[in-house]
């Protein structure tokens, strides 16, 4: 979740490191720091934003350096816990993403050997281990230190007097950017796009040594070759383009995302995943994901069971990786925006252990998930910078719709109607974006409360979960999503004048049932906001406020309803003056379990 950057070349490192770190702010952080080889190693770090650091950090002269934005996991966010971390001599500096699970044992051994620690972090054992093994060869010392370490890591290491960067990864992402007589290291592509679009993706177990003469990568003691990849999107795609926040920009990009993702796959003569045999063999599908992607998976369950007739099981990856069981050779879809989600990666390894066929759905070409899955379906959302996922969620839905429709068992007329509606989705979403005044009014009303319920039925139950997740993520309002029929099984006790309920009202067979639920909520005096299709006059009698969405085929209602709830969360957070793109305690890419 933290951000790593590194530089070696003929330019001054400090300004490049700070610029690169600013492009990783979306990952979430509470402190930052840099270290540069400069008559030894000079460093500056503190609990502040990168922009503040640019203003107050002393100028450090040198052309080799590393930097870090830290999201606290082991040790509170303090200056001494910020990265980089050093050995006793101050001649070795390390930045690290991940978790060292055996650090208490390692730390005690090092203390017994005379090493002195200053921080509460697990990371600090790494430079001390490197110091322990250092005999004039930094690369070798890093190799030996990593043999002692258990857990996950992406690291970048510099040494005093050393004109080199040593990097390594295991279960945390790390890339090398290849420039003109200069080389960059980063956790993610946006950090380096101002300087190069040529990258090398490191795999688990890789150790890289970068000098002015080139890049050497080793694995299991043997030198190997890793291909360079060209990044096809520009740095401008990762900028706000005049919008107040990245989140708002990314919400407004969704009509294009729908078109781009669908055009990528609907033009194929054959889908890359065969569901036909699966249906004939009476086998099931497993979907694994976390957070927003999990909610997309739940929508996928409804549409695949409806259109394809295949039973689908959806599980939270973090639970499955520890406790879940599945039959051998199951077809599994794993969904991750970043392709680096630690819990999903762990789940994939478990699936591969029982010979499951794993299909990854991800937004990031070259990500870890794409490299270990059997097949990969890429969503075409482009870079998503805001921590709260919006356009990547819609792109995931488009992939799931495409898969379901490719093997649909419905009659030809029904399928033709769905395809026609699918082509109209971008314009329906655009209508939502152009007619949001009722959403803004509801947001101003909602912003005064501290607890909110979202309810839905059928396809829109996962959207209730997603709407609640978006609101709590960025507005800090406690929000919960429920299947509407579950309110009477406990949550009713919390209803009242200070607990608004937002109902996602499907224009389908669930309409009458959810209307009953609305009446039950109203009887308990909770304020009611209804999302409902254009022309639904009947519901206005029972609710306090209405958000109108365009009429669509019920199977696509999750799309327009999601966009409405994204805007509701955004405007509510803006009304409460929250840091929308960088909500507290959260990170874009969750690379620790």
Q: Which are the catalytic amino acids? A: 2, 588
Q: Which of 537, 472, 463, 449 has its CA nearest to residue 504?
A: 463
List of long-range contacts for 42-47, beta carbons under 8 Å, 24+ apart: 43/84, 43/86, 43/93, 45/79, 45/82, 45/83, 45/84, 46/79, 46/82, 47/77, 47/78, 47/79, 47/82
On whether the CB atoms of residues 260 and 254 are closer than 8 A, the answer is no
- Two tokens at 7? 């530089």
Q: How far apart are CA 35 and CA 17, in angstroms?
A: 9
**How many CA atoms are closer than 13 Å to the CA of 3, on its beta-carbon side?**
30
On whether the CB atoms of residues 500 and 447 are closer than 8 A, the answer is no
Q: What angle do CA 225, 228, 234 make, to 5 degrees?
A: 160
Sequence-distant (≥ 6) Cβ neighbours of residue 480 within 8 angstroms: 452, 453, 454, 468, 491
**462 CA to centre of own chain:** 18
Sequence-distant (≥ 6) Cβ neighbours of residue 363 within 8 angstroms: 337, 338, 339, 378, 379, 381, 384, 392, 395
Which segments of 71-160 are extended strands (E)? 85-86, 92-97, 153-159
On whether the CB atoms of residues 89 and 131 are closer than 8 A, the answer is yes
* Residue matched to tokens 């993403």: 97
- Two tokens at 209? 């040594």
Instruction: Report the chain's C-alpha Rg in angstroms.
Output: 25
Q: How far apart are CA 340 and CA 324, in angstroms?
A: 20
Backbone φ, ψ for residue 506 (5° rounding): -75, 140
On whether the CB atoms of residues 165 and 13 are closer than 8 A, the answer is no
Q: Which residues of 158-177 are buried (b: 16+ CB within 10 A; e: fewer)?
A: bbbebebbbbbbbbbbbbbb
Q: How far apart are CA 425 and CA 533, in angstroms?
A: 14
What is the distance between the terminal CA atoms of the chain, rounded to a whole angstrom?
Answer: 11
């Amino acid at each position: 979740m933290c951000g790593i950057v590194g530089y070696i070349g003929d330019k001054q490192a400090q300004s490049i490191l700070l610029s690169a770190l600013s492009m990783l702010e979306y990952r979430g952080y509470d402190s930052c720091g840099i270290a540069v080889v400069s008559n030894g190693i000079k460093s500056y770090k503190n609990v502040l934003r990168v922009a503040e650091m640019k203003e107050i950090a002393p100028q450090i002269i040198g052309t080799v350096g590393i930097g870090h934005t830290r999201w606290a996991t082991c040790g509170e966010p303090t200056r001494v816990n910020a990265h980089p971390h050093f050995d006793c001599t101050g001649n070795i500096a390390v930045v690290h993403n991940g978790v060292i699970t055996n650090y208490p044992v390692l730390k005690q051994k090092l203390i017994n050997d005379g090493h002195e620690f200053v921080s509460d972090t697990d990371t600090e054992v790494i430079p001390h281990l490197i110091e322990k093994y250092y005999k004039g060869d930094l690369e070798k010392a890093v190799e030996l230190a990593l043999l002692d370490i258990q857990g996950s890591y992406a690291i970048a290491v510099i040494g005093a007097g050393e004109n080199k960067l040593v990097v390594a990864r295991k279960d945390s992402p790390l890339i090398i950017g290849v420039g003109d007589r200069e080389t960059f290291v980063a956790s993610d592509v946006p950090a380096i796009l101002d300087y190069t679009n040529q990258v090398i993706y490191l795999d688990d177990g890789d150790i890289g040594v970068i000098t002015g003469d080139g890049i050497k990568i080793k694995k299991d003691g043997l030198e190997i070759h890793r291909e360079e990849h060209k990044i096809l999107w520009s740095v401008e795609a990762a900028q706000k383009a005049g919008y107040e926040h990245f989140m708002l920009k990314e919400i407004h990009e969704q009509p294009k995302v729908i078109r781009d993702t669908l055009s990528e796959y609907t033009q194929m003569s054959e889908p890359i995943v065969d569901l036909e045999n699966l249906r004939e063999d009476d086998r099931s599908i497993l979907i694994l994901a976390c957070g927003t992607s999990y909610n997309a998976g739940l929508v996928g369950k409804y549409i695949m069971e409806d259109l394809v007739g295949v039973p689908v099981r959806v599980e939270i990856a973090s639970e499955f990786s520890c406790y879940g069981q599945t039959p051998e050779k199951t077809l599994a879809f794993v969904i991750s925006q970043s392709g680096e989600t630690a819990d999903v990666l762990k789940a994939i390894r478990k699936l591969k252990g029982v010979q499951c066929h794993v299909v990854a759905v991800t937004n990031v070409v070259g990500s870890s998930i794409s490299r270990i899955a059997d097949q990969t379906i890429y969503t075409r959302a482009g870079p998503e910078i805001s921590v709260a996922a919006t356009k990547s969620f819609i792109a995931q839905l488009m992939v799931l719709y495409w898969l379901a429709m490719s093997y649909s068992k419905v009659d030809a007329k029904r399928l033709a109607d769905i395809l026609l509606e699918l082509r109209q989705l971008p314009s329906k979403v655009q209508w939502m974006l152009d007619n949001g005044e009722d959403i803004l009014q509801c947001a101003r009303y909602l912003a005064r409360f501290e607890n909110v319920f979202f309810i839905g039925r059928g396809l829109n139950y996962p959207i209730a979960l997603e709407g609640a997740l978006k609101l709590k993520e960025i507005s800090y309002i406690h929000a919960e999503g429920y299947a509407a029929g579950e309110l009477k099984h406990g949550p009713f006790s919390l209803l009242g004048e200070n607990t608004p309920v937002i109902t996602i009202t499907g224009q389908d067979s669930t309409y009458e049932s959810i209307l009953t639920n609305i009446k039950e909520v109203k009887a308990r005096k909770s304020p009611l906001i209804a999302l409902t299709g254009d022309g639904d006059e009947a519901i206005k009698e029972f609710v306090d406020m209405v958000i109108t969405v365009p009429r669509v085929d019920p199977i696509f209602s999750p799309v327009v309803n999601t966009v409405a709830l994204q805007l509701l969360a955004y405007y509510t957070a803006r009304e409460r003056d929250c840091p929308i793109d960088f909500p507290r305690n959260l990170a874009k890419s969750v690379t620790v379990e």
